[in-house]
């Protein structure tokens, strides 16, 4: 979420990669640019910090340069279930030396969301294709409704290594491994200022609810944390072995400079 989210990733992720012996890191970066969208600059910062693949969601088009970014960097994904002809791709395969390849697939839900193609129909054939390349597949399902997320995870149980939900910015406590071996979490939460309303300054959001008048929602700055999930996967079968949530504060609990909703 904006500069605070990028800053805590830069400060914490290199240490986590070493301490946890991480093979791959996937980050949803759709709010990395001023809290709305993604740019080449913010993507480069995340990659430099140790992120291997960046997923997105319904805010992927909020910055004008997104088309160019998606065309030039195959490790920045947009939801797979956009109609044919839309720039970018919804999945990719990454390889690190000494590791089994990881396939990452990005899809978007439809309940209370923009009307894209049905992910329940579009995603399974792509999963089948990716399984020809690697048994280890991570799905970022960017969706609003918990029921849709759970149903989608159950649909893919035994076919992918993990289905992790994003979009609501609120971490859920339902991490589990389904019977078929798929790790699941309804929402990983957001990385950024937790002293906020979903990453935005508190007072303008309250004024909006009180008055129904437009407000400028700036990215907040305080109690910045990296939120996510750690998944251990059997590299031979692709079955998840363990899943646990991660919550790491910005060192010394620091705040970051103010950033406008239009900034990067």
Domain that holds residue 27: 2-191+226-248
156 and 41 within one domain? yes
Buried b (16+ CB within 10 A) or exposed e, 188-209: bbbbbbbebbbbbbeeebeebe
Are 90 and 209 in a shared domain?
Answer: no
Identify whether the C-beta of residue 131 lies closer than 8 Å to the C-beta of residue 121: no
Q: Which residues are catalytic?
A: 59
What pLDDT score was predicted for residue 258? 56
- Give 217-259 pLDDT, tens digit per residue: 999 999 999 999 999 999 999 999 999 999 999 997 555 655 5
Q: With respect to residue 66, please indicate whether it lies within any of the assigned structural domains.
A: yes
Residues 187 and 197 in one domain: no
Query: 116 and 11 in one domain?
Result: yes
Question: Do both 30 and 91 map to the same domain?
Answer: yes
Same domain, 59 and 151: yes
Residue 184 forms beta bridges with which residues?
A: 163, 176
Kindly state whether residues 138 and 230 are assigned to the same domain: yes
Count other C-beta atoms under 10 Å from residue 176's C-beta: 12
Q: Is residue 187 part of a domain?
A: yes
| Pick from 157, 55, 147, 155: nearest CA to 110 | 147
Domain count, the chain: 2
Do 106 and 182 fall within a single domain? yes
Domain assignment present for 261: no
Whether residues 129 and 215 fall in one domain:
no
pLDDT digits (tens, 9 = 90+) for 59-109: 999 999 999 999 999 999 999 999 999 999 999 999 999 999 999 999 999
Q: Which of 194, 200, 199, 197 has its CA nearest to residue 250?
A: 194
Q: What CATH number did the domain enclosing 143 receive?
A: 3.60.21.10
The verdict on 40 and 117 lying in the same domain is yes
Question: 127-161, pLDDT tens digit by residue?
Answer: 999 999 999 999 999 999 999 999 999 999 999 99
């Amino acid at each position: 979420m904006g500069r605070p989210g990028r800053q805590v990733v830069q400060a914490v992720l290199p240490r986590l990669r070493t301490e946890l012996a991480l093979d791959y890191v996937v980050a949803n970066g759709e709010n990395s640019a001023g809290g709305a969208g993604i740019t080449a600059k913010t993507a480069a910062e995340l990659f430099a910090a140790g992120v291997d693949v960046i997923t997105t969601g319904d805010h992927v088009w909020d910055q004008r340069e997104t088309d160019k970014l998606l065309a030039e960097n195959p490790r920045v994904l947009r939801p797979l279930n956009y109609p044919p002809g839309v720039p970018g791709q919804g999945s990719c395969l990454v390889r690190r030396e000494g590791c089994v390849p990881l396939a990452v697939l990005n899809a978007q839900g439809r309940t209370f969301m923009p009307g894209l193609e049905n992910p329940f129909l579009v995603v399974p054939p792509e999963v089948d294709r990716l399984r020809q390349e690697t048994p280890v597949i991570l799905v970022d399902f960017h969706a609003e409704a918990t029921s849709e997320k759970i149903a989608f995870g159950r649909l893919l149980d035994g076919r992918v290594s993990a289905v992790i939900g994003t979009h609501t910015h609120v971490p859920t406590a339902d991490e589990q491994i389904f019977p078929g071996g798929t790790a699941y979490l309804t929402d990983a939460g957001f990385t950024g200022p937790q002293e906020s309303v979903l990453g935005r300054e508190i007072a303008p959001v309250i004024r909006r609810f009180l008055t129904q008048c437009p407000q400028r929602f700036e990215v907040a700055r305080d109690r910045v944390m990296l939120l996510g999930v750690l998944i251990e996967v059997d590299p031979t079968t692709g079955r998840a072995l363990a899943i646990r949530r991660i919550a790491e504060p910005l060192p010394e609990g620091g705040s970051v400079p103010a950033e406008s909703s239009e900034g990067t």
